[in-house]
Amino acid sequence: MFKLSDTIRRTQTPDGGVLLDIHHGQMFSLNIVGAKILELLAQGYDQPRIADEISREFQVSQEIVRAHVGEFIETLEKHHILEPVLPAGIP
C-alpha cells in the first residue's frame, strides 16, 4: 500500500492532473490514466485491483496494464511522490 507524500500537491485537469512537489520544487503532469491510477491509490486500492479497474475502464488487456501500472508506481516512488504505508505494528 502507498500514500501520496505530504510534500505533494495535486490538482485534476480535463486532461489528467498536475502534481507539485513543494519540497523538491518539481512539477509532474499526468495523463488521464495516470490520474486515475493515483486516484485509485488514494482510495486504498492495491496494484492488482488498480490494474483490473484500468483494464476494464480503458478496455486494455490486463497483461499490458499490469506491467504499466507497476512501472508507473515505481516511477512515482522514485520521484518521492508515493510513500509506502507500513502495516500497523511494523516500525
pLDDT band at residue 1 using 50, 70 and 90 as cut-offs: confident
CATH of domain 2-83: 3.90.930
In angstroms, the CA 48 to CA 20 distance is 27
- Residues 6 or more apart whose Cβ sits within 8 Å of residue 58: 33, 65
- The residue extents of the domains of the chain are 2-83
Least confident of 26-30, 36-40, 65-69, 80-84: 80-84
Letter string b/e over residues 1-13, b meaning 16 or more CB atoms within 10 A of that residue's CB:
ebebbeebebeee
> Model-level pTM?
0.85
